[in-house]
Each structure stands twice: as structure tokens, then as C-alpha cells.
Structure 1
Amino acid sequence: MIRWIQFRNPSASISSLHHRLNSTTTTPNPITPVNPSHLLKVSTILYQQQNSPESRFHTSLNHCNFHLTHEFFLQICNQFPYSWKPIYKFHIFTQTHNFNHTSITLNKMLDVIGKSRNIDLLWDLVKEIGQRQLVNDKTYKIVVKTLASAREMKKCVDFFHIMNGFGYGYELGTLNKVVDMLCGCKLVEEAKYIVNKLKDGGSVKPDGFTYKCLIRGFCDVGDLVDASKIWNLLVDEGFEVEIDAVEKMMDTLFKTNRFDEAMKLFQSVRINRIDEVGLSTYKLVIGWMCRKDKLGHARMVFDEMRERGIEPDCEILGSLIYGFLSKARIREAYAIAEAIDNPDISVYHGLVKGLWRLKKANEATNVFREMIRRGCEPTMHTYVMLLQGHLGKRGRKGNDPLINFDTIFVGGLVKAGKSYEATKYIERVTNRGLEVPRFDYNRFLHYYSNEEGIIMFDAMSKKLREVGLFDLGDIFERYGQKMATREQRRDR
């Protein structure tokens, strides 16, 4: 699938790092505090009179006697993040009061109009902003993302041509920033279209960084065929395949259960490019080998890493701990863990996950208590693993509603306004002809993460201890104390 090549020495420069400066320099406007009462009055008028005649609309705003500043305009935009009409009418009003826009205020307005999908108005404003010479890289990102999301592909390309007409030129650095942004938003097909059109028209020739972004984008959406095509195109044009692009391709091959191809790529890098293989590459390979129960191969790679003088971090050691536990080699796993001076959460997660796999839920809870004692605060993932270890993937059944998690989960769905999901869940549970769905502990914890949840988790922990489930009681008590509300999670 991928064309294997002999790697050359790494190139010193990956992409152009220059930034286009605005043709007009403006002094930064000082941020002045906004009067909340004025903001409320103006927002109310914008909402209530957005369909009123312009004369009445302007008269109402003039009666507010507010101080129009750039910060005030931005705050108004924040009041209507998905509604273009109030913002645009306020923009028209500001033009009657000698209000000078900046790139920041115009980009904020474009963002609101883009989110509301008013493509025609967006297109008109783009030309106006170009004439004002207030376009910057943020403008490119907002406009192209909006047009690409709406599948206005021709306008995506035309936008670059229009900006060139306003004197901004065809900048490779700008194209790379746009492509990087689109690939991060999983709009990689649209990014590829823009790159090809600008390349075929002779406007902008992509470089190695452009192709790297496309490879990463196709890997993120799971399209290895197109990722391989871009890889081969990059090689044919004489660019260097960066090590992070190699790692991304390997990670995607692992995720799609193409283990042999991923290892073939890793071996190619080891043979031709060993000096660039660092901690991140070893971490990726060792982690996946341990997950796939290939502990022997993981040990070989680990030993090679140590021979090269690369010290493992806690994440690699956590993967090895899980690998040993998955093979029931408990003594060796604990020996690794005890030799770590300052273990982080990845080490404890390796222990908890491995013990959970061995059905040693009580030992996993002891690890949970130890990590708290040593000042390492559990995350949501920790609690979900512990609950799955104690209760199984389908939750605990019982006559008492306080320990019957079906009852608690349905109650949480109803309180969160998810009555349809609650009904469907009950239907699947009560209908013996259908398999009972996997219990979603993430949703269970999420729907009770509020002030009422603090009381519920406390009552649940007491009830669980009464029936002898001390480990579960400790888990829910700790969750209620540290994770039930946003303030608790922030201060933990």
C-alpha cells in the first residue's frame, strides 16, 4: 500500500514560517470595561427589533446612550453566537457612528455569520474586508472553514484568488495554516481539493508540511487509502516524510488492526532512520504491543530503547505493567511499579486495567486508594474502569433501587431530560428477545454530576457499605467528594 523508500537526511526546514503583515498598521485599542446594563439594553433591542425598520431600530439604539467601543462590539457578538441578523444590523448601525473596525472585530462578525451559514452575506463581507485591507490569517481560517463545511468548494478556491486581487498574494504559509486547520476539523477532503486546485492553477505549490497535514487528516478519518496516496505523492515530489507523519500512519494502522503493516513501517524507520526514532515512536509501538498481548516483542523494543540511551517515561512503564498483568505475571508488574520514584496516573491506570482484566477488582481498588494517598487524583477514566471491574459491563442488578444501577441510570436520564433515551433503554432491558445493552458508566456518572449527585453518591456509598460492598462505597464516596461538580473537579 505504502511505497517503501530509503529515507534521506532530515531536512532542516519543513515549511515556510513567514507571516503576512497587514498593509496598514494599526495601534492596538485599549480594552475598556463594558457597562453590563448598557450591554443588556442593547442586546435586548437587537433581539426584539431585529426585524424592525432600520429607522426605528437606529432610533432605539441611539436612546440607549451606550459607549461604543471595540470591546463592546465583541461582547455583543458573544451574545448572539449563532444569529447573523442582530450582529449584521448592529454592524450597519456602527457605520453611521464613525466606528472603525479592526481585524479582530471583523473576524468576530465573520465567525458569527459563518456559524449561522449565511454564505451570501459572508461572501459580500469578505470582499468588503478585503477592500479595507484588514484581512489576516484568522480571516482565511474562518472563511475557508465556513465555505468548506457548507461544501462551497468553488468559493473556497475563489477566495484565494479574490484575496490575491486585493494584494495579499498566494502565500504558501497561509495555505498551510488553512490546510492544517481544515484537517484538524476533519475536513480533509475539502483541504485536498483546495490544495489540488491551487496547485493545478499554478497559484501555490504545496510543500512537505502541506502533504503532512493531509496525511494526518486522512488518518484521523480512517482513510488509509488516500493517506497512502498522499504519502506516495510526497515521496515522488522529493519531500522528506517527517517522523511525526510516520508515527501517525503507524498509529492508524494499529487502530485498524493492520498490525503487520504497522510493524513493517516501524522496521523500515529503524533500518533507514534510526537517529530520528525517539521516545514518542517507542512509546507508540510498545503501547500497542502490550495491548495486543505481544509482551515479548514489547520487551525487545524496550531493551533497544534503553541501549540507545533513551529513558522510558511513566506512560511506557504503565504499558509494560499492563502487559505483564495481562499475562498474569503479577510479581514482575509490581516490581516495575515499585521501582518508579514518582509514578503518574498512567502507571496506576496500567495497574488498575491489568488487575481488572485478571478479575481482581479488590486489588484494583487498593491501587485506587494508594494513588489517592500519594497525591495522584483519579480521573473519570479511573472511575469507569473501577466500576466495570466491580459491576461488569452491564451494571449491577438487585431488588434494592439504591444498588440497582438500571434504576439509577434511568432516573439520571429522566432528570437530564433524556426521556426518549430512557424509554429505549427500558424497552431493550425488558424485551427478552433483545440483548441487554452495555451499561454506559460515562453517561451514568455524567448525568449525576451535579449538586443532587453529591447527595446521591453519599447516600449510595452508605447503602453499599451496609450490604458489605465497601470497595464500591469508597469509590462512589470519593467521586461524590471530588468529581460530582465542575467546581470540585477544578479544585481537586
Structure 2
Amino acid sequence: MTLLLRRSRPLLHLHPLPSSASAAAVASPHGPFASFPLDPSLPDPIPRPREAGSGGGGGGGGGERAMRVHGGRPLPLPRPSHHPSYSRLHRPRHQAPPLLPRPLPRLPRSPPLQGQMPLLNPKSLLSTSACPSESDTDSAEEHDESKQPWPPASESHAKEVERVCKVIDELFASDRNMEAVLDECGVDLTHSLVIDVIERFKHAHKPTFRFFRWAGTRPGFSHDASTYNKMLSVLGKTRQFETMVAFLEEMGKEKLLSMEAFRISIKAFAAAREMKKSLGIFQLMKRYNFEAGLDTFNCLIEALAKAKLGKEAQALFEKMKDQYPPDLRTYTVLLLGWCKLKNLVEAGRVWNLMLEDGFKPDVVAHNTMIDGLIGGQRRSEAIKLFELMKAKGPIPNVWTYTILIRDLCKGEKMDLAVKCFEEMLEAGCSPDAATYTCLIVGFGNARQMDKVSGLLREMTEKGCPPDSRTYNALIKLMTNRNMPDDAARIYKKMIKNGFEPTIHTYNMMMKSYFHGKNYEMGCAIWEEMAQKGICPDVNSYTVYIGGHIRHGRPEEAYKYIEEMVTKGMKAPPQIDYNKFAADFSRAGKPDVLYELAQKMNFSGKFQVSNVFHGWAERMKKRVKKRVPNQTGSRLF
């Protein structure tokens, strides 16, 4: 790649596309936060947003305010569509607010914010199919932010963890007295051992919680804040909110509450759109003499923004901004919330408000807006903002370029992606593994495998070797192209180069083998997961159960569906239940289908329950038709 662009010319020439309306997500709480009575001074969880521009989409809502960039004069927001001149020029289209005023004075490189959690990390930023990450795959939320790093485990510690996990795995599913066997094992309990065992079963809250309770009753051992927080994280991710509420109360009585526990709870409740419970955390903090400061408030609205509750985050900000005076991070997370909803009008209002309060948007805020403009189909304005950053600051960083490259790869515009990459090098900005991964996936989807090989060599030569995300992207690419042998070669190279496969890696490998009609190797991957202590998640079970069904083994599929339900996990959402039921029907086992129908009904899978019940009824009728009468002839 030797083609360089002249810095004096715009990077890309893309015509603006009409913005598409996007309805803002509306959430309603699922009931009162019974254990945490809300303070009357707290706002209503879902107050009404401002009238102007409250609708979704890039062009909704007129208003008299203007959109501007720091240092420039404001430009008017788009007029309402009923305005005569607007209708005459644009007719049915709606326009997002223009973002570019007069040039800014050149700014120095923005220093990083001190003492704050990173607002947008690379993994959450690059979450599209063009630049795959763990977050956009079948396995969500594999990066446990609450996990505390422990020193490398000794061999004896690893063996003890393995011994405990084997007891839990074998006895819990069979409904035997797991606790009694653990008592007899003489386990040397430590906090690190408890945390490692919980980590092994982090997707299955029932066995995890039983082990946690058992450990708390053992003589000479008592839980500390780290073990409580680990268990709290599992309850939050598996959405066991009633248990979680009682657990927080218990932590308070044991004087083991911490800011980390509140952060875990806020994120879990907000991700599930449990607004009342999220706000109830503030009341709990007050009750136990914790100060809910701006960092905690920012954590809440950031969690809401990432859950696509930008409207609720904005309304909460409006109600509580006097109590929690905003900082740059506050405005940036609000910007993120509206950009995720593709509501560029409201994003523009937040940008203006940020300027009016005296804050200079840093590179993170600019990246957020550029990403939002691209997501809202306003690519030309994203490019203009990018050009303005190059001219006046803040200087674009590696993520700025990666956002643009990712979008071009997703749109199969590989020539422009290469030009953007070359301009990045010319500007003195070194690409990282995520940038290369976007290009690799782009060329892979374009079936230019020679370019993929060249990029992999270049990564090593430039001192930026492929990371686990690059390998996962390659495995996914081969899986989608039904090339299981190539996926296996990449998997082996990944391990050889010292990268531990993630649960997503295993899920993709299983899927690759099952779809490639290699049932034995698909099962071998499942066994390898068990040997390495990888806790299967819902997606792992879905792939594995689907593989059994695909290869005509309904009994094995039934066994693992039962195992999921026993562990407190939801029944697999995406398997061929019709084929599964039909296989059992042909085997003449109506009782199994009735039993499954009942279990699915209890799990909330009503449609699946109806499928099983319907097949059981049809099979029952077929059996009845074949019953002979007293004369020995068939009834029909």
C-alpha cells in the first residue's frame, strides 16, 4: 500500500444521504424497587423529555437553537418540514443539523482526562460487522469488567479449583447433595479460589449461588467484598434482579458494600432498563453513608446510553444537573446516547450545550459525533468534521481513522479504505491491531484473500502482531464461508502464538464443524471447553444443541436443554424446534414432548412450548389411529 493522499484535499467525496428516522427507545420499569424505597426528591424514572426535537431520527424536531462547533458562530438547526422554503427545496426529506461553522483556531493535542474511567473503549467503539468484536458476536458481554486480576495461580490452586468445579458440575445437574460432597472433600477455601470457581460458572447462576452460600458456612472462611462483588456481577449478568436486591441489602448489613458494588448494580439495572432500580442505588448509597458524586451519576447515564436509553439519560440529566454539575464526560455520554439512537438533532443540542457550558469537545467527543453521523447516514458531514479536526484540532487519533476505515470496509469500498489507511500513516498516526482487523475483514468479505495474507505479514513486520480479536475475526470469516479446516488452522495458530481462545472462539469453531457436517469435531470442541474450564453460555448451548438436532440426535439435544434449565439459564432461543419435535415424534415419545412443553412454558418460551405440545398431540392422534379393535382389524 504505497498510495498517499495530499493533505490539502478532502479525504473522501461522499454525497449526503437522507437521514432515516429512528424512534427513540422507550422503556418502562418492571415494577417497584421494593427493597429500596425511593426518596421523594428523586426524579420520576422516565420524565418527559423536552418538546423540541424529542423525536427519533436525524431530522426530527425543529426548534430555534443552533448547532455550532467551539469557536464558531452558531448555524441554524433544520427548519420544521412545514416551513415553505424547506418544503420547496427538500420536500419529503429531513436534514440533520449542519455541524461545521467557521474554522476554529488551531488547538494543541487534547490531554487525556485524569482520574476518570475511559468513556469509549476500542471494543465498544468498533462493534459492527465490518470490524468484529466480542460484543457484536453471538456471545455478548464476555469482558467482565468486575473481574479483578489475581496473581498467576499455582499448580496446586488450579488443581483445587478443578476438583471443586468437577463436584459442582457432576452433582448439581443430578440434583444430588452437592454441599455434602463438598464438605467431605476438605476444600481449602480462599477468596481467590471462590472467585475462580464463580468465574467458571458465571453464566449459570444457580450452581454458582449454591456454591457461594456453601462457602459462607464453612468454618474459618468468610466472604469479603471481592467475593460478594463477583457473585453480584453474575447475578446482574444473568438478570436475577430480585436476588440481586436482597444480596445488596445483605452486603450492607455485613458492611461489605463498596463503590464497585454500586457500579456493578447500576450497569446491570440500566442494561435491563430497570430505571427504578438504577435510581434506587442512589438511595441505598445514601442509607449506608456513601457519597453519590458526579462519577457515580456519570456511570448511571453512561450505562443508560449504552443500553440505547438516550432519551431517559437526557431526561435524568435535566432533572439532576443542579445536584450533579456536569463535566465533559457527562456531555460525552449524553452525546453517545443520542448517537446510538441515530437522533442527530438531539446530539447537536447536547454539543451546543457542552459549548455553552465552557467545555471544549476533546477527541473522544469528536469521535463519538463522527461515529454517530456515520451511523445516521450523514457520512459527508462526518468527513467534514474529520477534516476540521485535522485543520484545527483536536488531532485525530487511531480510533478516528479506524471509525472511517471500518465504515468504508462495511460498505465494501476497499479502495477508499486503503486511501484512508495511507493518509493515516502520512499523518504520523500508527495503526493498531483493530485498524488492521477492519481491513482484513473487509478484504476477506471481498474474497481478496491475497490482501488478507499481505496484511497479516505487514502486521508482524510493523511490530503490531495479530491479537485475539484478529484471530477471532479470521475464524468467523472462515466459518461464514464454510471453511472449517481453515478455521481450525487459524485456531491452532492462535493457540501457538500464546492467545487463549475466548468462549466466542469456541462457539464459532463448534458452529463451523457442525455446519460442515463434522459432528465428532463439533463435540470435541465442547469437550475441550470443559477441560479448559470455560463456562458455556447461552450461545454455546444454542450452537451445541443445534448441532445435535442438525445431525439427528434429539436425545442428546434434550439432555442439554434440561441441563440449561436446571442451571437457571434460558432455553436456547434459536434452534430448529420443529425438527427437534419431529424427530421425537418419529421416535414415538409423546411423553418427552409434553414434558418439554411444560418446561418451556415455565421458562417463558410460550411459542416453543406450543410447538412441542402441538407435535405431541399430532403424534398421539397418529398412535391412536393405529390401535387395533377387538376383531383385530385397524380402526381406520
Shorter-chain TM-score bucket reads 0.5 to 0.7
Q: Which residue of 1 aligns with 2:67?
A: 3
* Residue in 1 that maps onto 2:260: 138
Q: Decide which of 236, 241, 263 is 1:119's aligned counterpart.
A: 241
Measured against aligned partners, the alpha-carbon deviations of 1:52-85 in whole angstroms (never above 9, x if no partner) come to: xxxx886665444333322342244233633247
Check conservation: 1:82, 1:113, Cα contact below 8 A.
no
Query: Retained in 2: the 8 A contact 1:148–1:156?
Result: yes
Deviation at 1:159, TM superposition (A): 0.7
Is residue 250 of structure 1 aligned with residue 350 of structure 2? Answer: no
Equivalence for 1:66: 187
Secondary structure in 1 matching 2:428:
coil
- Distance in 1 (CA, whole Å) between partners of 2:421 and 2:215 is 66
Correspondent of 2:348 among 221, 228, 231? 228
Give the Å deviation of 1:295: 8.8
Matches of 2:548 and 2:339 in 1, distance apart? 35
Residue 67 of structure 1 aligns to a residue in which SS?
coil
Alignment of structure 1 residues 12-161 onto 2, 5 Å:
14=113, 16-17=115-116, 33=157, 34=160, 36-41=162-167, 44=170, 62-77=183-198, 78-79=200-201, 81-84=203-206, 87-88=209-210, 90-91=212-213, 94-95=216-217, 97-161=219-283
Q: Which residue of 1 aligns with 2:385?
A: 265
| 1:388-417 Cα shifts (integer Å, max 9, x gaps) | xxxxxxxxxxxxxxxxxxxx9785898574
1:74 touches 1:105 (CA, 8 Å); kept in 2? yes
User: Is 2:359 aligned against 1:239?
Assistant: yes
Corresponding residue for residue 296 of structure 2: 174
Residues 270 and 303 in structure 2, CA contact (< 8 A), matched pair in contact too: no
Q: CA 1:72/1:242 → structure 2, altered by over 3 Å: closer, same or farther?
A: same
Q: Secondary structure at the match of 1:162?
A: helix
| 2:294 alignment partner AA | L
Q: Offset of 1:107 from its aligned partner?
A: 0.9
The two structures, once aligned, show a CA RMSD in angstroms of 5.2
> What per-residue deviation string (whole Å, max 9, x for no partner) do you get for residues 192-226 of structure 1?
565455436x2x33311122123224324534344
1:40: Cα distance to partner?
3.2
Which residue is 1:215 aligned to? 335
Q: Distance in 2 between matches of 1:150 and 1:350?
A: 33
**Aligned partner of 1:41: which letter?**
V
Contact in 1 for aligned 2:401/2:424 (Cα 8 Å): yes
**Is there any run of 5+ residues in structure 1 with no aligned partner, and where?**
19-27, 51-55, 320-343, 388-407, 425-492
TM-fit CA distance, 1:169: 0.6
More off after superposition, 370-379 vs 41-50 = 370-379
Structure 1 residue 227 displacement after superposition: 2.8
- 1:245 CA drift (Å): 1.7
Contact 2:201 2:208 in 1 (8 A): no
- Is the 2:389–2:396 Cα contact (8 Å) retained in structure 1? yes
| In 2, Cα distance between equivalents of 1:349 and 1:58 | 48
| 1:451 equivalent in structure 2 | none
- Alpha-carbon offset, residue 163 of structure 1: 1.3
CA shift in 2, pair 1:193/1:108, >3 Å: farther
Q: Is the 8 A contact 2:252 2:288 kept in 1?
A: yes
Distance 2:230 2:318 in 1: 29
The separation in 2 between residues aligned to 1:305 and 1:366, in whole angstroms, is 22
**Aligned-pair identity (%):** 23
Normalised to the residue count of structure 2, the TM-score between the two structures is: 0.43
Render the CA deviation track for 1:115-168: whole Å, top value 9, x for unaligned.
343322211221222343433343123211222234321221121221132122
Alignment of 1:282-301 (within 5 A): none
CA contact (8 A) 1:42 1:64 kept: no
Could you tell me the TM-score, scaled by structure 1's length? 0.54
Residue 280 of structure 1, CA deviation: 5.2
Alignment of 1:392-407 (within 5 A): none
Quote the Cα distance in structure 2 between the aligned partners of 1:255 and 1:310. Answer: 25
Q: Distance in 1 between matches of 2:352 and 2:213?
A: 48
Question: In 2, are the aligned partners of 1:348 and 1:371 still within 8 Å (CA)?
Answer: yes
- Report the secondary structure of 1:276's partner residue: coil
Deviations 1:254-275 (A, max 9, x none): 343223433453455466x346
Output the CA distance in 1 between the equivalents of 2:215 and 2:440: 59
2:427 maps to which of 310, 315, 327: 310
Q: Tell me by how many angstroms 1:177 deviates.
A: 4.2
Contact kept? 1:140, 1:178, Cα under 8 Å? no
Is the 1:183–1:191 Cα contact (8 Å) retained in structure 2? yes
- Give unpaired runs (5+ residues) of structure 2: 1-58, 60-65, 72-104, 118-150, 461-465, 483-513, 519-542, 553-573, 579-636
| CA gap 1:206/1:135 in 2 versus in 1, 3 angstroms | farther
Contact 2:263 2:296 in 1 (8 A): no
Paired residue type of 2:251: I
Work out whether residues 225 and 256 of structure 2, in 8 Å CA contact, stay in contact via their aligned partners in 1: yes
Q: CA deviation at 1:105?
A: 0.4
| Alpha-carbon distance, 1:87 to partner | 1.3
Aligned to 1:324: none
